[in-house]
Structure 1
Amino acid sequence: MMLPRLITFLALNSMASAVPSVMPRIAVTHSVLIGVPGQILTADLTETSFKITNKASTGAGSDYSWMRYKNSTDTVYAVNEYGSEVTAFKLDHLDVKNGNPATGSAGVVFLEFNKDQTRMIGAGYGSSMLDVWDTSVAGAPKLLKSVNVTISYPSSGPLGNKPHQALFDPTGDWLVVPDLGADRLLIADAKADSYKVINAVSLKAESGPRHGGFIKSDDRTFYVVACELSNQVHLYEFKYSDNGPEFVHLAEQSTYGPDIKPKNTTSAAAGALLVASNNRDIYISNRLSGDTEDNIAHFIFDAKTTNLTFAGSVPTGGVNPRSISFDASESILFVTNVAGPLGVTAINRCAASGHLGAKPFAGMKLTDLLPDGADPATVGPQFVAAI
C-alpha cells in the first residue's frame, strides 16, 4: 500500500507534467485613431491602459466623424459630417487645419476604399449623394463625380434618400449602399468608374438599413445589414448574374437576439456592423437602448445551413456606441461611446470562438477626449479605428 504522502506527491507531479507552462505575456501596443466633434486624436493601448499620444483641433462646428487611413502614403482622409470637405493629412501630424482639403457633397457620414485604395467612396446621408474620389496620389483627393441616388430610386418616405454607407463587394466590381431613408439596399456598378445605381431591394417601411457587411463562403456571397429604425438584422444571399447582382432574402431577427426588444423601443437605434475575417462572426452595436450601458451583440453565421445565430451581447461601458473596430489580430474590439463615463473602450475577443469578454478591459474617460470647453452632455466620440 502506498503511503498517503507518496500518493499526493505522484498526483501533483503528474498534474504538473500535464499542464503546459504559461509563457510570460509580452506587452503589445495598439494604436487607434479617434474622431470627436472639434478634435481628432491618436492613442495607444498597452495591456490595460490607454494613453493619448497626439491631438489636434479641427475647429468649432466641425465633426470629422469618419476617417480612412492609407498605409502606403501614411495619409488619413477625414470627412467633416457638418460640412462638405474631405481633408487629407499625415498621420504623424494630425494637422487637419493645415491639411489638403477638397470639397464634396454635404453631410457625408462614411468613407470606404476600393481594393487598391485608388478610389474612395463617400456616402452622403445629408445630400443623397455618393462621392467618388481619386486617391491614387498623395495630397488632396480629387473628386471624380457625385452620383445622386434619387435619380434611379427616389424615396417615397418622409426622410427622403439617406445613404449611410457604401461598401464594395468581394469582387470589387459592385457597391452596396444602405439607403436608411428609402428603406432600400442599392447596388451600384463600380466598374470603369461608373457607379451608376442599377438595382435595389426594398425592406419593410421604417426599417432604416444603416450598416452592412459581406460574408464570403466558397463560391457563395452573403450580405448582412443592421437596421437602425427597426433594430432588425437581415441576412441576404448576394447572387451574381449576367444582369448584375441581386439580393435574395434569407432571414431576419432582432439585433438584441431572437424575440428580444430593447428597454426603450422609441429611442433604440442599431448602429455599426462588423464582420470578422473568418466570415463567421458578426458584431452589431445596439445604441440608446434605455439601459445604463448599451451593448455589442454577437451573431454567428453557419455557412452550411446559412443560419444566423445570436451568441450573446456584452456592455460597452457607455451609451450610444456609434463606431467599432478590430485591431490587426482581431483579438480586441474597440468601441466609441458618444455618451456615458467611458468614451472609448477595448473588449477582448477570442479568435477561436468569436466570443467577447464580459466587459471592457480598458477604457478612456469621455471627458478626457473632448476639446477644451466642450459639453460632455452633448458631444462625444464618433469614430475609432485601429491604425
Structure 2
Amino acid sequence: MRLLPLLLPFLATAVSATRFFIGAYSGQILSANLDDTTGAITLLSSTPASSPSPSWQELSPVDPQLLFTVEERAHSDDSKGAVSAYLIGSDGALTKLSTALGLLGPVSLGVSPDGKTIFTANYGASGVSAYCTDDGTGALQHLQDWTFELSSPGAVPSRQDAPHPHQALFDATGQFVVVPDLGADLLRIFSVDGKTFSQLSPVVVPPGTGPRHGAWFPPTGIPLFYYLVGELSNTVTVFAVSYPSSGGLKLTQIQRESTLPLGSTTTTSAAPNSTPSAAEIAITPGGRYVYVSNRNDKVFPDGHSVAIYSRQATTGLLTSIGWADSGEQTLRHIALDPSGRFLLVEGQDSNEIAVLPVDATTGKLGAAVGKFAVPGGPVCVTFEK
C-alpha cells in the first residue's frame, strides 16, 4: 500500500496509444502507434519483405496476432497475386507465416467473422479468389477463382473496359460476401457455406457508377444498411439490407448522394487521373457521421477533400454537412481510429498521412494535428480494435 502514492504520478502520465498498420506501395507494411490524446503517430516497425505492393490488410477477427495482406504481384510469380499471413509481435514487428497464390492484382481482401475464409477482389484479373486459413498456424490455402467478362465497355470506357472487382466484404453473418465491381457496375454477391461458395444474382447499379468500396452499418450484428462509394459517379448510395425468408441477401437502394458540390466534374473523360474520383468510406462508431474521400477534386485549392454527412439513425439516410480540406493529395484511403476521435487520411501522392480531429458534436473535421511521412505513398490503414 505504501507504494501506491509513488505509482500514481506515473499512472497519471502514462501515454495511451492505439496500434495500427500501414500498407504502402514502397513494398513495406509499417506498424505505428496513434497517441489517443494528441493524435501524434510514432513508428514502431517496418516489414520490408511484405510484397511489391501490399495495398490492403485486415486483422483476423478471432486472432489479434494475425494480419492478412494482399500482394498485387507475388514475389515468387509475378503473373499471380497472393495473400500472406503475418504474426504480429509484441513490438509491432511482423513475421511472415505463409503465402498462397491466386489471381493477379488483388486490391482488397475480406476475412470471414470466424477467421476461416478469405475473399480477394482482383482488379487486374477481372476476378475474385477464395482462400481458407488455419487461425492456429496462419497457414493459407487457395480454394477457388472466378473470372468475369463484359460483352462491351461500360459508360466510362476508359475505366470500364473490363470487370474490375475492387473490394470483398463479408457481412456479419459470414454467409455472404459483397464484391463491388467498378468495371461492370455490379455488386456481385457470393454465398458462403464452409468451403462451398455460390454466386447469387448481382445488384445492378446505374451505368457509370463505378462501384468501389462499401461499408455495413451496424458493422457487427445483423446489418441494416449498406453504404456504397461510386468512384466514377462520385456518389455514395444507401441500400436497405434484408435477409429474405427464402434465403439470400437483398440490397434495396433508398438514396444516392453526390460526394462533390453541385456542378463539379465527374470522371467521364479519357484522363481519369485529372478528374474527381471518390475512393473510401468511414462511419463513426455510433453511426452519427459518414466520411467519403475524394481525389483530384477542386473543392479546395491545395488538398483533396473529405465529404461529410450526418446519418439518420432510424432510416439510415444521409444529409451533406460539407467538406473538409485534407491538405493531402489522392486520398485512396481513410480510416477512423476505434474511438472515432481521429480520421486518418492517406495521401497516396503526397506520401504522408494526416490526422484530422473529429468534432463529436458536429461531425466536422479540424485541421491536421499531426502528419506522418510514408515513402512510396500510404494506401491502407488498419487499426487494432
Task: Give the structure-1-normalised TM-score.
Answer: 0.80
Which residue in 2 is equivalent to 1:236?
A: 239
Q: Structure 1 residue 255 and structure 2 residue 246: aligned?
A: no
2:358 touches 2:366 (CA, 8 Å); kept in 1? no
Q: 1:251 to 1:190 in 2, by over 3 A?
A: same
**1:76-225 pair list within 5 angstroms:** 76-83=67-74, 84-92=81-89, 94=93, 99-137=97-135, 138-150=137-149, 157=154, 158-216=160-218, 221-225=224-228
The one-letter code sitting in structure 2 at the alignment partner of 1:298 is: I
The one-letter code sitting in structure 2 at the alignment partner of 1:50 is: I
Q: Structure 1 residue 66 and structure 2 residue 69: aligned?
A: no
Greater gyration radius: 1
1:191: how far off?
Answer: 2.8
Measure the CA separation in 2 of the matches of 1:45 and 1:221: 31
Q: Deviations over 1:309-339 (max 9, x none)?
A: 1122222231111122222222222221112
For residue 35 of structure 1, the aligned residue among 18, 23, 33 is 23
Q: 1:48 to 1:156 in 2, by over 3 A?
A: closer
Q: 1:264 to 1:193 in 2, by over 3 A?
A: closer
Measure the CA separation in 2 of the matches of 1:199 and 1:280: 32
Measure the CA separation in 2 of the matches of 1:220 and 1:72: 23
1:350: how far off?
Answer: 3.7
1:30: how far off?
Answer: 2.5
The aligned length equals: 346
Measure the CA separation in 2 of the matches of 1:66 and 1:91: 16
Which residue in 1 is equivalent to 2:282?
A: 274
Q: Deviations over 1:83-136 (max 9, x none)?
A: 41222222237456x642221111000111111212121111111222222123
Measure the CA separation in 1 of the matches of 2:345 and 2:21: 11
Measure the CA separation in 2 of the matches of 1:304 and 1:180: 29
Gap regions ≥5 residues in structure 2: 1-11, 75-80, 155-159, 269-273
Measure the CA separation in 1 of the matches of 2:130 and 2:222: 29
Q: Structure 1 residue 319 and structure 2 residue 329: aligned?
A: yes
1:143: how far off?
Answer: 1.4
Q: Structure 1 residue 45 and structure 2 residue 43: aligned?
A: no
1:170 touches 1:216 (CA, 8 Å); kept in 2? no
Which residue in 2 is equivalent to 1:347?
A: 356
1:344: how far off?
Answer: 1.1
2:30 touches 2:45 (CA, 8 Å); kept in 1? yes
Gap regions ≥5 residues in structure 1: 1-23, 371-378
**1:363-378 pair list within 5 angstroms:** 363-365=371-373, 369-370=374-375
Task: Give the structure-2-normalised TM-score.
Answer: 0.81
Measure the CA separation in 1 of the matches of 2:338 and 2:133: 23
Q: 1:240 to 1:263 in 2, by over 3 A?
A: closer
Q: 1:210 to 1:281 in 2, by over 3 A?
A: same
1:354: how far off?
Answer: 6.2
Q: 1:132 to 1:25 in 2, by over 3 A?
A: same
2:278 touches 2:292 (CA, 8 Å); kept in 1? yes
